[in-house]
Structure 1
């Protein structure tokens, strides 16, 4: 659980940069890639990451998210730029509207009580979860995923090192 706004902001900025790297590596053609028919596509997952940032408005933060009910854009650049815009809006709202004491406040989400600091931690993990899904779909779409928490297989090779299996 986050207990200080500045800790959340520092962590979120690092994680948002990683998410932006993944989103920025997408192509318009890759957005249609699905693991199997009938499941979310790479574009749907990317757009879900964009729209899910606005979930934090349920915690009492006021900022402009993506258009409610908007379909997944067909432009990878539009998805990435909308993520950057909403991310900046979230951080502005957090800095202007909250202080550390708000992180201990609880709110009912789907019938259960959660502290805001826990919900913010969940939001960080949520992005990491979907980035992992996206890197698999990126490979299936013929894209090279960017380094996230370390080099990719190709990154090891590029550095003249033996990749871990």
Structure 2
């Protein structure tokens, strides 16, 4: 997505952030322990916590100053704490963005991490795509942990079945 205004980004972020909160809200404390694989000990909780901590890291790489707590702390064992932290981090980041950047800045060139040439708009797009990427990973791990993930861009399997059943009863 090529954002031309901060407002355009914020509309997209509010949509995607709301979907991320929907997924985070379905997590259980027990599901946070679900590992990616036997060889890869990263957990569902680690991925969820990474979504929180990545916001200030990625936006900070573009020079945005965010008054954020240190999210390099160990992953919480409480799913609600992770969801609440994501909500707070999102709010703080959006406030900082409105205060520090202008629409004109979005078209300016930016070099990230010494090897990614983009624009400030490109950075914002990367932040959104990053959360979508990990949100997809999380929904698979949720199924493996026995948690039904909510539908994101459409109904999930269970929601689709309920819709079909309701339609068939008419």
TM-score, normalised to structure 2, is 0.90
> 1:86, CA displacement in angstroms?
0.4
Match of 1:139 in 2: 143
User: Residues of 1 paired with 2:100 and 2:113: CA distance?
Assistant: 24
Match of 1:150 in 2: 154
Match of 2:10 in 1: 9
Q: Mark the runs of 5 or more structure 1 residues left unpaired by the alignment.
A: none
Q: Mark the runs of 5 or more structure 2 residues left unpaired by the alignment.
A: 166-170
- 2:164 alignment partner, SS class: coil
Superimposed CA distance per residue, residues 125-144 of structure 1 (whole angstroms, 9 cap, x where no aligned partner):
11111111000000111111
The 8 Å contact of residues 62 and 112 in structure 2, kept in 1 or not, is answered as: no
Residue 21 and residue 68 in structure 1: after superposition, are their counterparts in 2 closer, same or farther (change >3 A)?
A: closer
Match of 2:168 in 1: none
User: Residues of 2 paired with 1:62 and 1:19: CA distance?
Assistant: 23
Match of 1:130 in 2: 134
Moved more, 36-45 or 144-153: 36-45
Match of 1:41 in 2: 43
Superimposed CA distance per residue, residues 27-46 of structure 1 (whole angstroms, 9 cap, x where no aligned partner):
11000101312422100110
Superimposed CA distance per residue, residues 30-82 of structure 1 (whole angstroms, 9 cap, x where no aligned partner):
00101312422100110110100112022122212341521111111111100
The 8 Å contact of residues 53 and 65 in structure 1, kept in 2 or not, is answered as: no
- 1:159 alignment partner, SS class: helix
Match of 1:57 in 2: 60
Moved more, 53-62 or 124-133: 53-62
Match of 2:70 in 1: 67
The 8 Å contact of residues 145 and 152 in structure 1, kept in 2 or not, is answered as: yes
TM-score, normalised to structure 1, is 0.92
Give 4+ residue runs of structure 1 displaced > 3 Å after superposition.
Answer: none
User: Residues of 1 paired with 2:39 and 2:33: CA distance?
Assistant: 11
